[in-house]
Homo-oligomer: A and B are copies of this chain.
Amino acid sequence: MTTRRELLAALRRAVGDGAVVWRPEDLAAYEFDGTVERAVPHAVVLPSTAEEVRAAVRACLDLGVPITPRGAGTGLSGGAVPLRRGVVISTARMRRIIEIDPADRVAVVEPGVANLELSRQAARYGLFYPPDPSSQAACTIGGNVAENAGGPHCLALGVTQNFVLGIEVVTAGGDIRWLGGRSPDPFGFDLRGAFIGSEGTLGIATKVAVRLLPVPPAVVTLLAAFPEVAQACEAVSSIIARGIIPSAMEMMDRLCIEAVEAGFRVGYPEGAGAVLLVELDGLEGEVQAESARVRAECLERGATEVRVAASEEERALLWKGRKGAIPALGRLAPNYYIVDGVVPRSRLAAVMERVAAVSARSGLRIANVFHAGDGNLHPLILFDEREPGAGERVLATAAEVMRVCVEEGGTLSGEHGIGAEKREFMPWLFGKEDLATMARLREVFGADGGLFNPCKVFPGGTGCGEMGSRAAAVRAAGPDAYV
């Protein structure tokens, strides 16, 4: 058994004194990623280079200490929570934009670069990085790679998987490798593709080469208000059925609209059962034509009002409501738990009805704000963690919602990953042998010791405890219980 003192000494040798966090009050900042799971690491390492990441990984492997990689900690599925404690390796200091090449439309960045910062810097060349999670001001490219992150504008353009060309990683076995490269068209075995979305279980990205796209010359943003969610869902399907693929198509339900209005006064129509935010981009003439068609389609499906943003300010205001929707729900309850599921677009209306029924049965309010065009739901379960048993009730309710998604032909995650809390649901969709084949991928990256981001993605696992009671058990263990 390694002592805490030995661990800290080894980490200091690996990355230097100034890159090791060890005071309990500092470590507390790394216990949480916005879900119900919490666990405090024994130490946090803040490397500045790939070589330092490798040195830290090797030090932990040598001592048999678990490693949990962390980007900005905005994943909302427990992926960055060190459930078996040990060492968190944070990429927060690796935030250089190494290169932006406007001719090839490629950027090479370190993993700690914030998503929005990349688009800001690329804007100087008229370019942007399309995947845009709502947390884009904070979340990092490295974290986006780990979660295969999406965002409102991924409907037409695709998710992280479609924009990452190559990744330099420190593997779970402690080696530096390039997966893919700077050019499009992967060839050979596509380990780049397999690494994206592996939720920090296979290694840590240390450089990421991404594709950029030109900022579209014209953008139109529309807001349509509907009496009922079902009508808004039908409008989504019928817009897409007409051959229009908006750059974004986002929906909010009544509870969400109320929270946003109370928080930001963005002017969403009062009393609406649902609003649909639709964005179209392209050349001036074409977006005007499409905008007229989207408007007509919404009115035909029962919209009571369709508003087109007349200026960049109005556009920003409409989006402010959407991007701030999740924080705004903090006004309705002290805590929320986000469920991330995907269903076939054609099943959206039926699924929303079933989610409402789950909410009624559980006694917990559920607000909905989501990427409607993709069928990527985000039911938000509102609760107060100070109520006894609240955590367990929330997790049970979330499990019911996930079950609905799977029963309606959907899957367990659109963009937040499986993380800690959904891994017990993996057998709903994958057979035991399929899971075993998948898990063998860890060996390719040298993760055979089970020390690399343990208790994530796959069900079971030694020392991971049981769903729900896990967080409490780890909390009860205290900061010095074991390394």
Give A162 to B191 CA distance when docked, in angstroms: 16
**Chain B positions within 8 Å of A374 at CB level:** 184-185
Q: A465-481 toward B: CB 8 Å interface, digit per residue (1/0)?
A: 00000000000000000
Alpha-carbon distance between A438 and B104 when the two chains are bound, in angstroms = 26
List CB contacts (< 8 Å) of A308-344 with chain B.
Answer: 342-344
- Asked whether any CB of chain B lies closer than 8 Å to the CB of A409, the reply is yes
CB neighbours of A417 from chain B (8 A): 187
A198 to B187, CA, bound (A): 8
Q: Of A2-10, A29-37, A174-182, which stretch is located at the interface?
A: A174-182
- B342 near A184 with CB under 8 A, answer yes
Known A171-B437, A433-B175: A418·B187 in contact at CB below 8 Å: yes
A115 an interface residue at 8 Å Cβ cutoff? no
* Bound-complex Cα distance A26 to B369 (A): 61
Would you call A158 an interface residue if the criterion is a C-beta within 8 Å of the partner chain's C-beta atoms?
Answer: yes
- Residue A362 at the chain B interface, CB threshold 8 Å: no
Tell me, yes or no, whether A217 is within 8 Å of chain B by CB: yes
Q: How far is the CB of A446 from chain B (nearest CB, A)?
A: 8
Cβ-defined contact, B148 with A441, below 8 A:
no
From A130-138, A249-257, A278-286, A382-390, the one touching the partner chain is: A278-286
Q: Is the CB of B434 within 8 A of A177?
A: yes
The answer to the question of A216 belonging to the interface, with a C-beta cut-off of 8 Å to chain B, is yes
* Min CB gap A109→B, angstroms: 18
A273 at the binding interface (Cβ < 8 Å): no
Residues of A in contact, count (CB < 8 Å): 75
- The distance in angstroms between the C-alpha atoms of A430 and B445, with both chains bound, is 16
Q: How many protomers of this protein does the assembly include?
A: 2
Are the C-beta atoms of A214 and B188 separated by less than 8 Å?
A: no
Q: From A104, A159, A182, A375, name the one whose CB has the most chain B CB atoms within 10 angstroms.
A: A104
User: Does A289 make an interface contact (CB < 8 A)?
Assistant: yes
CA of A410 to CA of B305 in the docked complex: distance in angstroms? 51
Asked if A186 meets B197 with Cβ closer than 8 Å, knowing A289-B283, A346-B103, A434-B177, the reply is yes
A66 vs chain B, min Cβ distance (A)? 19
A31 to B: closest C-beta gap in Å: 25
Q: Is the CB of B162 within 8 A of A185?
A: no
- C-alpha spacing A375/B104, complex, angstroms: 10
- Asked whether, in the complex, the Cβ of A183 is within 8 Å of the Cβ of B283, the reply is no
Q: Which residues of B contact A444 (CB under 8 A)?
A: 437, 440-441, 443-444
| Chain A stretch 227-264: residues in CB contact (< 8 A) with chain B | 241, 243-244
Report how far A445 CA is from B193 CA in the complex, Å. 16
CB neighbours (8 Å) of A194 from chain B are: 189-191, 193-194, 441
Q: Is the CB of A410 within 8 A of B183?
A: yes
Closest approach, in angstroms, between the C-beta of A286 and any C-beta of chain B?
3
CB distance from A212 to the nearest CB of B (A): 12
With a CB–CB cut-off of 8 A, which chain B residues contact A186? 148, 161, 197
Chain B residues with CB under 8 Å of A193's CB are 161, 190, 193-194, 196
Question: Given the complex, which residues of B lie within 8 Å of A197, measured CB to CB?
Answer: 186-190
**A419-458 at interface with B (beta carbon < 8 Å):** 426, 429-431, 433-434, 437-441, 443-445, 457
Chain B nearest CB, measured from A25 CB (Å): 36
Instruction: Show the binding face of A for B, using Cβ within 8 Å.
Output: 103-104, 148, 150, 158-159, 161-162, 171, 175, 177-179, 181-191, 193-194, 196-198, 202, 214, 216-217, 241, 243-244, 282-283, 285-286, 289-290, 293, 342-346, 374-376, 409-415, 417-418, 426, 429-431, 433-434, 437-441, 443-445, 457
